[in-house]
Structure 1
Amino acid sequence: MAISVIIPALDEEEEIETCLKSLRKQKFEGKYEIILVDGFSQDKTVERAKPYVDKVLKKHAHGPAAARNVGAEHAKYDVLAFIDADCEAEKDWLERIQLDFINEKLMGVGGVLRPREGSWFDNVVFKINSDWWVRLSTIFGIYQLYGNNCAYRKEIFKKLCGFSTEISFFEDTELSMRAKKVGKIKIDPNLIVYASTRRFKQKGYLSVAAKNVQAFFNFLLGRPIKTRYFDTIDHNKNGTQAPEKCP
């Protein structure tokens, strides 16, 4: 099995190498490619990424969802794995994805998040939000495959037109729920990515948690998800044009 890893990035010169080094140090024996989708960064993101990646795509994409879709369009392998530029993959990340997709009926898989840096409080919050909350959600029939730690078969991803670019929040859950309607998806608690805590630090843990809960119950009750629950982190606010919609 071969895997295409897709990373959206914008002005991530301080974070990108840590992410890419974790991907190049995988104990994965299969084939894989790394695709960086850069939103015309004004810093040295691309320069620092080039030694590690197989493809650099420069695209004005409105947010990470659109950037991920662009990467998927240029992926050559049958499994698409997604991670963010400020994240670090566990050393068996690709191996876990490969093991999960041995099940031919599986269309998508998501993992759990751990704080890449931070205090005991950060660890507790991530454990609640990314582990217990995700498992609780499945009781209500909602599967949350995080956009920075998930993988899909390319066939189903294209059939579903990828991540929605009509919403800026919960687009990863929205995609996983569409995937659930046409095939099997799962949460793998051993599929681990270490994520930056900067969004929580900028917006505040309580604020982010409240908006997550509000969006979750709107989703559960079939209500529309607001397009601007909260903006992305500061340096990701200048996206310009979303890609064309899937026909």
Structure 2
Amino acid sequence: MGELSVSPAVSVILPVLNEEAHLAESISAILSQDYRGAFEVILALGPSQDRTDEIAKSLSARDPRVKLVANPNGKTATGLNLAVAASTHPIIVRVDGHAKIPHDYLTLAVEILKQTGAVNVGGVMAAEGVSSFEKAVARAMRSPLGVGASRFHTGGEAGEVDTVYLGAFKREAINQAGGFDERYTRAQDWELNYRLRKNGGLIYFDPRLQVTYRPRPNLRKLAKQYFQYGTWRRVVSRSHSGTINLRYLAPPVTLIGCVTSVIGGALIHPILYIPVFVYGVFVGLSAALISRSMREFFSLLAIIPTMHFAWGAGFITSTKTLR
């Protein structure tokens, strides 16, 4: 990969769909960066059902750095590729329409790219809720008791990793890897990072890159999100053998164990309730450790198993194969 200039120009890309609640805040944070180089913002607009397009057009009219491209099918990977194609700069920084980056994010990301020689760098998915339910989800998402020990959720030491949240990429690395795989509804980031690593590229995590993430606002949407995570992680495992580890197998094994425990306890002998009882104790203790109020505690009693079981159910029931 070529050497980066002192302050290389940056293209910030966002796939956007139904982001009325957070888009203006997200773009404002990008436009307020302290970065000394030039940068542009490319919004790939899907077919939103709310005021997202209206807000995007208003933002573009107020600042010429904000450019709009159409993403008719609304798929994230397609939107990312369209935004990359419409961009012009050697560094590509991905941001989501419901994420908020700190004022020095671009400066830090470029600095880390230059220092490490990585092809993609990223940091912490710093979940931060607004409503009481979102705040409880955020606590679960930032705890290893809720999502496991992935560094981009819980933080940790800087270093080489398999994948990162969002990411700041060298454009030439994306092009060499063939861009985002548009067959993926979820896990397109993980899958691209896998190909970048196969090409000899370094994926680098640095906890200084903190991105504020807005969690899903209710249990139904949270369950749908994690079901899709599990579904598409199984697709990745079929497409790229050897990419599954014990952390990914924990949710489906837990779901199967709990269901088997309940059925066995009801039909064979009450002693078989022990596994589901043990999991219930784990959830209760986790909620107690993570929560900061009694209201959060009771919310987490539903949130934690929803995340685990929805992910596990998606993984178990996934039949998708890519050709």
Paired position in structure 2 for 1:20: 27
> Quick check: 1:142–1:177 contact (8 Å CA) kept in 2?
no
Check 1:63–1:206 CA distance in 2 against 1; reply closer, same or farther (3 A cut): closer
| Structure 1: stretches of 5+ with no match in the other structure | 224-228, 231-247
**Greater strand fraction, Structure 1 or Structure 2:** 1
Shift of 1:125: 2.3
Paired position in structure 1 for 2:183: 166
> Quick check: 1:108–1:151 contact (8 Å CA) kept in 2?
yes
Distance between the aligned counterparts of 1:9 and 1:214, measured in 2?
20
Paired position in structure 1 for 2:101: 89
Check 1:220–1:145 CA distance in 2 against 1; reply closer, same or farther (3 A cut): farther
> Quick check: 1:79–1:154 contact (8 Å CA) kept in 2?
yes
The alignment yields a C-alpha RMSD, in angstroms, of: 3.5
Partner amino acid for 2:167?
Answer: C
Paired position in structure 2 for 1:233: none
> Quick check: 1:134–1:144 contact (8 Å CA) kept in 2?
no
Paired position in structure 2 for 1:100: 112
Matches within 5 A, 1:63-142: 63-103=75-115, 105-117=117-129, 118-119=134-135, 122-128=138-144, 132-134=149-151
Comparing 3-12 with 209-218, which one deviates more in the overlay?
A: 209-218
Partner amino acid for 1:181?
Answer: K
Check 1:40–1:125 CA distance in 2 against 1; reply closer, same or farther (3 A cut): closer
In terms of Rg, which structure is larger? Answer: 2
Distance between the aligned counterparts of 1:62 and 1:206, measured in 2?
17
Comparing 40-49 with 76-85, which one deviates more in the overlay?
A: 40-49
Paired position in structure 1 for 2:233: 215
Distance between the aligned counterparts of 1:60 and 1:207, measured in 2?
22
Aligned length: 223
Distance between the aligned counterparts of 1:131 and 1:98, measured in 2?
29
Please, what TM-score do these two structures have when normalized by structure 1?
0.76
Q: 2:73 is paired with a residue of what secondary structure?
A: coil
Q: 1:102 is paired with a residue of what secondary structure?
A: helix
Shift of 1:211: 4.9
> Quick check: 1:114–1:123 contact (8 Å CA) kept in 2?
no
Please, what TM-score do these two structures have when normalized by structure 2?
0.60
| Structure 2: stretches of 5+ with no match in the other structure | 1-7, 245-313, 316-323
Comparing 15-24 with 37-46, which one deviates more in the overlay?
A: 37-46
Shift of 1:202: 3.3
> Quick check: 1:143–1:187 contact (8 Å CA) kept in 2?
no
Check 1:155–1:7 CA distance in 2 against 1; reply closer, same or farther (3 A cut): same
**Greater helix fraction, Structure 1 or Structure 2:** 2
> Quick check: 1:114–1:127 contact (8 Å CA) kept in 2?
no
Point out 4+ residue stretches in structure 1 off by more than 4 angstroms: 209-214
Paired position in structure 2 for 1:190: 208
Shift of 1:43: 3.5
Shift of 1:27: 1.9
Paired position in structure 2 for 1:241: none
Check 1:206–1:11 CA distance in 2 against 1; reply closer, same or farther (3 A cut): closer
